[in-house]
Amino acid sequence: MKKLTHIDRQGKATMVDVSDKSPTLREAVAGGSVYMKKETLRLITGNQIAKGNVFETARLAGIMAAKQTCGLIPLCHQLNLTSVAVAFRVDRKNSRVDIEARAKCSGQTGVEMEALTAVSIAALTLYDMCKSVDKGMSITDIRLMEKRGGKSGEWKRNKG
Amino acid sequence: MKKLTHIDRQGKATMVDVSDKSPTLREAVAGGSVYMKKETLRLITGNQIAKGNVFETARLAGIMAAKQTCGLIPLCHQLNLTSVAVAFRVDRKNSRVDIEARAKCSGQTGVEMEALTAVSIAALTLYDMCKSVDKGMSITDIRLMEKRGGKSGEWKRNKG
Amino acid sequence: MKKLTHIDRQGKATMVDVSDKSPTLREAVAGGSVYMKKETLRLITGNQIAKGNVFETARLAGIMAAKQTCGLIPLCHQLNLTSVAVAFRVDRKNSRVDIEARAKCSGQTGVEMEALTAVSIAALTLYDMCKSVDKGMSITDIRLMEKRGGKSGEWKRNKG
Amino acid sequence: MKKLTHIDRQGKATMVDVSDKSPTLREAVAGGSVYMKKETLRLITGNQIAKGNVFETARLAGIMAAKQTCGLIPLCHQLNLTSVAVAFRVDRKNSRVDIEARAKCSGQTGVEMEALTAVSIAALTLYDMCKSVDKGMSITDIRLMEKRGGKSGEWKRNKG
Amino acid sequence: MKKLTHIDRQGKATMVDVSDKSPTLREAVAGGSVYMKKETLRLITGNQIAKGNVFETARLAGIMAAKQTCGLIPLCHQLNLTSVAVAFRVDRKNSRVDIEARAKCSGQTGVEMEALTAVSIAALTLYDMCKSVDKGMSITDIRLMEKRGGKSGEWKRNKG
Amino acid sequence: MKKLTHIDRQGKATMVDVSDKSPTLREAVAGGSVYMKKETLRLITGNQIAKGNVFETARLAGIMAAKQTCGLIPLCHQLNLTSVAVAFRVDRKNSRVDIEARAKCSGQTGVEMEALTAVSIAALTLYDMCKSVDKGMSITDIRLMEKRGGKSGEWKRNKG
């Protein structure tokens, strides 16, 4: 039967002991979307410079947050990322911006939380930059897309 | 015509100058949900102590993250929160956990980002604690529910 | 009957809501001691320059830690300290160093935790600087000495 | 004759250069106690849920602080902990709570400061949660219990 | 005779006690320059998008660093900035980029260090982004240009 | 033709992917100077204890900042420094203080930014401690002096 690795036998929250694991190359990709009004999407994409700067700000926020993950998620391990990349795709039809983050490191533990944190903070930064015109924006479908490395090996999300 | 307050006339990212605003009591409520397998929800709610500790860990992560918001969101102002509260509700029918965060301060700028950051990091912490059994969990509908205070006054999300 | 302000009716950890409190001048003094071998005390006090630098390092660590208190203590409020001072007194007879920290701010909540954090981190820094010669050092009697300001007013520790 | 490794020949504070050391598995255990009134101990242990949450909050604070050690102790090295565990034991006879923290990493420098920092911040968090009913609580006997790994090898505290 | 406010009578480093000062509007402007090879300047300004992104990255780094000033400069007070702005000017003739940062807050202490920190970290970020092609770049003339507010009132740098 | 490694083909800011690099010993030395009035230099060097403490404060600020580099410079990698040293030299003739910082680590990426950050924050700390008597001080010639390790190997600044 499955059990939660972060809860010990007495029900206490616990950081997993990874001392005996060998360092391997780890990689994780996470995604998410920010839904907004069509007018808001036009405002951030209408002007080439403004568009660049809205997305650059969100991208840098995501990259910097990934490096702070272990300070945000209580039971996360410290690790030294070798790469973080954050990309945006404008989906005019659905009036949303899709965000994808990819994180890598060579370590004893995976980088799923780093990729997910990068997406979350990039999404919150988009919200912050547009909230004066569109308080109703919503951040949705933040999820792991794929991971590689470590004992559990490769995992890919099933596409519906 | 509406414009983005965080993008100046030349298209550059900019922190809004709130020097001339008067401090007022600010309050914001944000919400979000974490969808998971039914088995995962059973694991975190089956045992009273474990349940408490999973939610306590996520709650504290959310509260602590709210206090770090201005270090995560590049153009956010520093402010001293007077209250942050994070609550969880288990929705067995939809196999999800709903998260609500409420933030308050007396200041020159709103606390929407603090409430949204608390929800996001609490959700990521739930993911972290359950990811060994359910990598496919997804975080969704992170959005502002209501805000009070400041020049723009009260705002409430329309219920569908 | 007394109750814990940080635990709500359902037993959940909670940050006290201080939104309705008026800002007043707050002050707190905390103390603590680091016991060590006589030889260790001689090493850090034997040379005037070395002595200065060991204590300066511990003092700065204490001051900087006081400013980070709300990031360390989960349910602590953010506040802007107007003063932090850390002082050391060598007690050769008892082979220990006494540490005293004083913190002040004008705010809606007290600065006890800031003064106690300054003492604790200053003590740990003394330990760190001497641990190569004396791993057995112990940090003891970290406690609040006095506080002023706020609704509960003045409090002084009873001297034995 | 012994000398302080953190003070150079001219008496200046210095970070030890560990570039030439080989990474080995490091482990450290630290302990400490928080003395309080009998009534306070009853308040935090009387109710099963409240008790869990007081200790969970202190535990998480200790774990998160351990990961921040190099940002708190000026001359401490950065390292990636592979495990941090914090445990509590209620000692009703002496009206105190004993705290024990264990830290591990594979690195070029020891983890004594990480274990001691975890104990200190867990103790301060207990103080914070009970200070409304018992300002006179005191934190005492924070000390290294044992360490393993590195050139100096194993060390154990003498039991009185 | 003049004396250093950060060194007390016994020669110890000390944080100035500003508890008795009244909050006033504070403003500071700082400047600095980054000298580089002509080829490097061409690389960062040749393409409109790349240019925007190099400067946006440096701008955001400067803004975010200003908010962290009290965590970097040991004796600096915590304060809540109401505005930080960072601007760049390309000086092709002298093959350099000029940086100007402006910080504001309503508080008991000045914001000179915040403006200077914003310039310094923006300059270091430019260095970081160009160091693969020009390790010899130098950061120079980081200095206060003007300040307003507080007891010492207005100050302006003499132009040569 | 040379290109910026931090700007990708589409002109976006990017963190260099160092996953495939082998860890080697890295070392970097950076320098910088703080110009001040002769009277200011006399104040910080006149008294042996005060002088020690001004420089100790700046030294510790530089060392601690080096450890925070990846949180300040957006596209910098996380790494675990094995050594950071900061030294000061008083140049009475030119009425300035020269600062030199040396950083080391074993890693997949260089430590130039860590050494430069240490110099910058040490310089800002000197400014902070003297600004009450000399607002016109200027920080200048912050530059890399030498580096070793990694694929690009050794680099030394040409002495004019």
The structure tokens 């320098």 sit at F31
Best A53, A64, A128 residue to mutate vs chain E (most E CBs within 10 Å): A53
pLDDT, residue E158, reads: 87
How much is the pLDDT for E100?
Answer: 98
Residue C108 has which token pair? Answer: 């809606």
Whether residue C72 lies within 8 A of chain B, CB to CB, comes out as no
Tens digits of residue pLDDT in F16-75: 999 999 899 999 999 999 999 999 999 988 877 777 889 999 999 999 999 999 999 999
The neighbour count for residue D152, using CB atoms within 10 Å, is 11
Tell me which of C96, C127, C152 to substitute to probe the interface with D (most D C-beta atoms closer than 10 Å): C127
- Among chain A residues, the shortest Cα distance to F7 is held by A56
Q: Does B25 touch chain C (CB under 8 A)?
A: yes
Those chains having 3 or more beta-carbon pairs within 8 angstroms of chain D are A, B, C, F
Q: Which residues of D are identified as catalytic? A: 128
Hey, is the C-beta of E74 within 8 angstroms of any chain F C-beta?
yes
- Taking the Cβ of residue D85 and every Cβ of chain B, the question of whether any pair is shorter than 8 Å is answered with no
- Indicate yes or no: CB of E57 within 8 angstroms of CB of A53: no
> Hey, which residues does B106 pair with through a beta bridge?
B25
Whether chain B has a CB inside 8 Å of the CB on D8: the answer is: no
- Whether the CA torsion C12, C13, C19, C25 is positive or negative: it is positive
- For the CA atoms of B13, B18, B20, B21, the dihedral, rounded to the nearest 10 degrees, stands at 140
**Structure confidence at residue C1 (pLDDT):** 52
Number of domains composing chain B:
1
Please report whether residue C5 resides in a domain: no
Instruction: Tell me if chain D has a CB within 8 Å of the CB of A9.
Output: no
Nearest-10 crossing angle of helices A48-67, A38-45: 100
Of B14, B71, B77, the CB nearest to E80: B77
Catalytic annotation, pick one of E98, E128, E134, E141: E128
The answer to whether the beta carbons of residues D6 and D13 sit under 8 Å apart is yes
Q: How many residues does chain F have?
A: 160
| DSSP assigned state of F37 | -
Mean pLDDT over B129-148 rounds to 96
On whether residue C18 sits in a domain, the answer given is no
Average pLDDT for F126-145: 96
How much is the pLDDT for A51? 78
pLDDT in the model for residue A132: 92
* CA distance to partner chain C, nearest, from residue B136 (Å): 29
Cβ–Cβ < 8 Å for A88, A98 = yes
Query: With contacts defined as CB-CB under 8 Å, which chain A residues touch E56?
Result: 52-53, 56-57, 60
Tokens 């080697």 belong to residue: F24
A11–B49 CB contact, under 8 Å: yes
Residue among C11, C19, C70 whose CB faces B104 most closely: C19
SS3 of residue D22 by DSSP:
coil
Task: Give, in order, the Cα–Cα distances in Å from E105 to each of D151, E59, E109, E119, E147.
Answer: 51, 19, 9, 17, 12
Q: Given an 8 Å threshold on Cβ–Cβ distance, is C80 in contact with B80?
A: yes
Q: Quick check: C129 contacting D, CB < 8 Å?
A: yes
pLDDT of the residue at C160 = 55
* Confidence at residue D151, expressed as pLDDT on a 0 to 100 scale: 85
Give the pLDDT confidence of B63-121 residue by residue, as tens digits. 999 999 999 999 999 999 999 999 999 999 999 999 999 999 999 999 999 999 999 99
**Chain C partners within 8 Å of B76 (Cβ):** none
Residue B29 included in any domain: no
Q: Please give the residue of chain B at the shortest CA–CA distance from E27.
A: B19
User: What pLDDT score was predicted for residue A9?
Assistant: 81
Test D13 with F85 for CB contact under 8 angstroms: no
In a domain, E2, yes or no: no
pLDDT level of residue F141 (50, 70, 90 thresholds): very high
Q: Are B118 and B62 in contact (CB under 8 A)?
A: yes
F128 pLDDT higher than 90:
yes
Tell me whether residues E74 and C81 touch, CB distance under 8 A: no
Q: What percent of chain A has pLDDT over 70?
A: 98
Nearest Cα of chain A lies from the Cα of B148 at a distance, in angstroms, of 13
- Residue F122, Cβ neighbours under 10 Å: how many? 30
- Residue F90, pLDDT > 90, answer yes
Strands F138-148 vs F24-35: parallel, antiparallel or unpaired: antiparallel
Q: What angle do CA E122, E125, E126 make, to 5 degrees?
A: 90
Residue of A nearest to F109 (CA): A82
**Touching check for A22 and chain D: CB below 8 Å?**
no
Pick from D13, D71, D79: CB nearest F68:
D71
Check pLDDT > 70 for residue B1: no
> Rounded CA gap, C113 and D130, in Å?
12
Tokens representing F21 are 């690099």
Minimum Cα–Cα distance from C24: chain E residue = E19
Structure tokens that stand for A109 in this block: 């533990």
* Four-point Cα dihedral D88, D90, D95, D96, nearest 10: -10
Host domain of residue A91:
24-148
Name the DSSP letter for residue D144. Answer: E
**pLDDT the model gives residue F7:** 86
- Confidence at residue E152, expressed as pLDDT on a 0 to 100 scale: 82
Distance in angstroms (rounded) separating the CA atoms of residues D53 and D57: 6
Residue D1 has pLDDT above 60, yes or no: no
**Residue A153 resides in a domain:** no
Helix, strand, or coil (residue F81): strand
Q: Which residues of B are catalytically annotated?
A: 128
Backbone angles phi, psi at B136, to 5 degrees: -85, 5
Neighbours of chain A (3+ CB pairs under 8 A): B, D, E, F
User: What CATH number has the domain bearing residue D117?
Assistant: 3.30.70.640
Query: E99: closest CA among E58, E53, E46?
Result: E58
Facing E83 at nearest CB: one of B13, B17, B70: B17
Q: What does the pLDDT read at residue F160?
A: 54
Residue D159 counted as domain residue? no
Q: What is the mean pLDDT of each run of 10 residues along chain E (160 residues)?
A: 80 92 95 97 84 92 98 98 97 98 96 98 97 96 96 85
The verdict on a CB contact (< 8 Å) between C106 and E12 is no
Measure CB to CB from residue E57 to each of A48, A49, A60 and give the nearest one: A60
Query: Span D91-115, mean pLDDT?
Result: 97
pLDDT at A60: 97
CB-nearest to E60 from A48, A52, A57 is A57
Q: What is the pLDDT of residue A90?
A: 96
Contact A140/B137, CB-based, under 8 Å? no
Is residue B89 one of the residues assigned to a domain? yes
Please tell me if residue F87 touches chain A, with a CB cutoff of 8 Å: no
Beta bridge pairs of residue C26: C105
Q: Which of A17, A91, A128, A141 is catalytic?
A: A128
* Structure confidence at residue C125 (pLDDT): 98
Q: DSSP secondary structure string, C27-66?
A: EEEEEEEEE--HHHHHHHHSSHHHHHHHHHHHHHHHHHHH
ipTM over 0.90: yes
Category of B4 on φ-ψ map: left (φ > 0), alpha (ψ -120 to 50) or beta: beta
Question: Percentage of chain F surpassing pLDDT 70?
Answer: 98
pLDDT tops 60 at residue F4: yes
> Which residues 38-67 on chain C approach chain D with CB closer than 8 angstroms?
39, 43-44, 47, 49-50, 52-54, 56-57, 60-61, 64-65
pLDDT at A158: 87
**How many CB atoms neighbour CB D153 within 10 A?**
9
Please report whether residue D83 resides in a domain: yes
Chain B residues in contact with D64 by the CB 8 A cut-off are: 64
Distance between CA atoms of residues B134 and B34, nearest Å: 12
Q: What is the pLDDT of residue B160?
A: 55
- Cβ atoms of residues B50 and B147 within 8 Å: no
Percent helix, strand, coil in chain A (nearest 5)?
Answer: 30, 30, 35
**pLDDT tens digit at each of 160 positions of chain C:** 578 888 888 888 899 999 999 899 999 999 999 999 999 999 988 877 777 889 999 999 999 999 999 999 999 999 999 999 999 999 999 999 999 999 999 999 999 999 999 999 999 999 999 999 999 999 999 999 999 998 888 999 987 5
Cα E113 to chain center, whole Å?
7
Please state, in angstroms and rounded to a whole number, the distance separating the CA atoms of residues A104 and D156. Answer: 39
* 8 A C-beta contact, residue F25 and residue F149: yes
pTM over 0.90: yes
Q: What is the pLDDT of residue D146?
A: 97
Question: Which residue on chain C is closest to F51 by alpha carbon?
Answer: C49
**D68/A contact by beta carbon, under 8 A:** yes
A93-148 per-position pLDDT tens digit: 999 999 999 999 999 999 999 999 999 999 999 999 999 999 999 999 999 999 99
Q: Residues of C with CB below 8 A from B99's CB?
A: none
Assess whether pLDDT exceeds 60 at residue A20. yes
